[in-house]
Amino acid sequence: MPYINISDLSLGQIISGAGSLIFAILSIILGLRILINYFTVKRKEFISVGLSWIFLSSAWWGGGFCFLSILLFQYAFEQQLYLFLAITFIPFALISWTYSVYNLFLKDTLGLKKDTLLYVFIICCLIYWGLIIILLFYDYNLVGSYVIFQTRPALLAAIFDLIAIVFALITGLIFASQSMRADDKTLVWKGRFLSTGFILFTIGTFLEVLLTLNPIGLVIVRIILITSAIAYFLGFLLPTPLEKKLIKED
């Protein structure tokens, strides 16, 4: 079993692991807060919207919870567990978000009467998820690899992750733009926050994947990701005091 002391980690690794943990926990809390709002408004979309961000942040679960495990137990996750946490929940993020946008605006936009398109999309995501699970047990190198706190998806997972990010960005911006065209200033501000959240999340994700970051770069990227989570939350649940202040100053 791979035991590692926190003192064995470099400054960059500590920042990466701690930042991943903060982002993961914050995303789970904010996602649950959106989800719980279902019991107030009785709209199922709040459940799927909350789950969307929780699962979307799962790409950082491996690094974040591995860092927590090292901090508490001096135990670093093995490859299979790390990759399971970092990769296998992304399909559920795509399913949750697709369900959300489909019911919030896509169905009316496309003039669809049946949910066939949604079901086909969900089935494709589940097939991919099943394939990833099989590959994890057959040969996890076909799923990806990692240097501590840094996941490197294999080709199949990388393509799916890219599709998920681009799809979420495009549909999120379309949804946000509809809100920003509304007469209701509250909806306008929610649209602004939502678009900011998706743009920052996409920027932070690509910076982390494409660049080899030094400690300062890691801090900046984690701040971008944390800000994206807060903006996403405000895009759906804008606290009344902040809402009144923004509308007054607008």
Average pLDDT, the chain: 87
Rounded to whole angstroms, how far apart are CA atoms 55 and 87? 10
Question: How many Å separate Cα 86 from the centre of its chain?
Answer: 11
Which DSSP letter does residue 77 get?
Answer: P
Statement: residue 135 has pLDDT above 90: yes
Distance, CA of 198 to CA of 146 (rounded, Å): 26
Task: Work out the number of other CB atoms within 10 angstroms of the CB of residue 214.
Answer: 12
Percentage of residues of the chain with pLDDT beyond 70: 95
User: What's the token pair of residue 44?
Assistant: 């199922």
As a whole number of angstroms, the distance between CA 64 and CA 36 comes to: 24
pLDDT digits (tens, 9 = 90+) for 164-218: 889 889 988 988 888 888 778 888 899 999 999 999 999 999 888 777 778 888 8
Residues in the chain: 250
Domains annotated for the chain, with CATH where assigned, are 6-244 (1.20.1070)
The pLDDT of residue 113 is above 60? no
Q: Assign 130 to helix, strand or coil.
A: helix
